[in-house]
């Protein structure tokens, strides 16, 4: 028995359009969009009266994808949380990118929160943390060739 690969990461959002646009600006592509509701999906995820809209966005190489989910029912009673990079639990998603400077500049112009200036790690990577809509934290990593 073994794990073959990580398939996808699911992110629950209130503003599906804003989150979708953020990931499109980052360079991901829409793979599919769908709605789900009813008893079957509720049994899978352990909730009652489920109604959702989902968007799958894939990386250019097709090896990974992000699933954005908007729950209409049941709704989350908490407000959007903006955790820090050291908050316990799953905290960020890392993307390997080309031309980190261009991506960060583009996102910064659109109002994306940049945690720090682009930093170089030894002779291997340029790194930068950013916060997207609804507190989503991403690490961008460009391998130095």
Residues 6+ positions from 113 with CB-CB distance below 8 Å: 130, 131
Q: Residue 116 has what pLDDT?
A: 83
pTM: 0.88
Q: Residue 75 has what pLDDT?
A: 84
114-128 tens-digit pLDDT: 988 999 999 999 999
Q: Residue 14 has what pLDDT?
A: 92
Taking 50 as the pLDDT cut, the residues of the chain under it are none
Q: Residue 70 has what pLDDT?
A: 95
Q: Residue 42 has what pLDDT?
A: 86
Domain-wise residue ranges, the chain: 8-73, 93-143
Please provide the CATH number assigned to the domain covering 8-73. 3.10.180.10
The arrangement of secondary structure in 93-143, i.e. its CATH architecture, is 2-Layer Sandwich (3.30)
Any long-range contacts for 139-143 (C-beta under 8 Å, 24+ apart)? Answer: 139/92, 139/93, 139/94, 139/95, 140/94, 140/95, 140/97, 140/100, 140/103, 140/104, 141/94, 141/95, 141/96, 141/97, 141/100, 142/96, 142/97, 142/98, 142/99, 142/100, 143/96
DSSP code, position 82: -
Q: Residue 83 has what pLDDT?
A: 81
Q: Residue 4 has what pLDDT?
A: 77
């Amino acid at each position: 028995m073994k794990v073959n690969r990580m398939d996808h990461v699911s992110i629950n959002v209130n503003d599906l359009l804003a989150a979708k646009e953020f990931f499109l600006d980052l360079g991901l592509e829409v793979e599919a969009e769908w709605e789900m509701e009813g008893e079957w999906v509720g049994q899978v995820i352990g909730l009652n009266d489920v109604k959702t809209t989902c968007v799958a966005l894939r990386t250019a190489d097709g090896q990974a994808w992000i699933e954005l989910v908007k729950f209409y029912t049941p709704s989350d009673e908490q407000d959007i949380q903006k955790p820090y990079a050291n908050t316990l639990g799953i905290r960020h998603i890392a993307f390997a990118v080309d031309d980190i400077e261009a991506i960060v500049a583009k996102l910064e112009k659109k109002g994306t929160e940049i945690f720090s200036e682009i930093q170089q790690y030894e002779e291997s990577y340029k790194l930068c943390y950013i916060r997207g809509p609804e507190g989503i934290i991403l690490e961008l990593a460009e391998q130095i060739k």
